[in-house]
Amino acid sequence: MTTAYLWLKALHVIGVVTWFAAMFYLPRLFVYHTMTDDDPGKARFVMMEDKLYRIIMRPSMLIAVAFGLWTLILAWDAFAASVWLWVKLAGVVALLGYHYYCARLIKAFAADESPHSERFYRFFNEIPALLLILIVILVVVKPF
Ligand code: HEM
């Protein structure tokens, strides 16, 4: 492991942590937003969701993915034949799907539409935690 590799991996993990911080909080905002009836309350949630996405969630995702790919390029020969890597990348694709679905939901809320129930968002909120557990076990334990 060269020092450069370890720096890239550190930046990758920093991006991952802040990306998840946003993905854990945003669906909680959707839950509270759905429970809100008054216009000033709704406008406040629209602003909070928009800022969380634009200032934290999207830049963090770009940092996590960019440094993850850069790390992967350097480690390609060591990891390309490992099954854990491809399962991890499938988990990342699912996470990106979640990320962009959140972006769509933010737009819907901004247009004063709430496509789902409060209960839906409570379940929806658990998806990043499940993917986090899966991906961290794969990348740290490398079980196969
Ligand atoms: C395009 C997306 C991604 C790519 C290409 C990628 C690639 C990589 C690579 C090549 C490593 C180095 C593995 C090693 O040195 O053992 C790594 C480390 C790591 N990745 Fe990712 N990753 C991506 C997304 C993610 C996501 C979404 C998570 C979290 C859910 C994550 C969590 C981690 C962690 C915790 C490590 C450090 C593991 C260790 O040092 O033991 N990665 N990633």
Residue 79 CA to ligand 1 center (angstroms) comes to 11
Which string of DSSP letters, residue by residue, matches 59-110?
HHHHHHHHHHHHHHHHHHHHHTT-HHHHHHHHHHHHHHHHHHHHHHHHHHHH
Work out the pLDDT band at 70, boundaries 50, 70, 90.
very high
Q: Is 136 in the pocket of ligand 1 (CB under 6 A)?
A: yes
Residue 86 C-beta-side C-alpha neighbours within 13 Å = 5
Residue 68 CA to ligand 1 center (angstroms) comes to 6
Q: What is the pTM of this model?
A: 0.95
Best mutation site among 16, 85, 96, 139 for ligand 1, i.e. most ligand atoms within 8 A of its Cβ? Answer: 139
Residue nearest to atom 1 of ligand 1 (CA): 65
Residue nearest to atom 27 of ligand 1 (CA): 92
Q: pLDDT tens, 84-135?
A: 999 999 999 999 999 999 999 999 999 999 889 999 999 999 999 999 999 9
Work out the pLDDT band at 56, boundaries 50, 70, 90.
very high
Q: Is 95 in the pocket of ligand 1 (CB under 6 A)?
A: yes
Residue 46 CA to ligand 1 center (angstroms) comes to 32
CA distance 66 to 27: 24
Residue 77 CA to ligand 1 center (angstroms) comes to 15
CA distance 138 to 127: 17
Please report the pLDDT score of residue 97 as a whole number.
98
Domain map (residue ranges) of the chain = 3-141
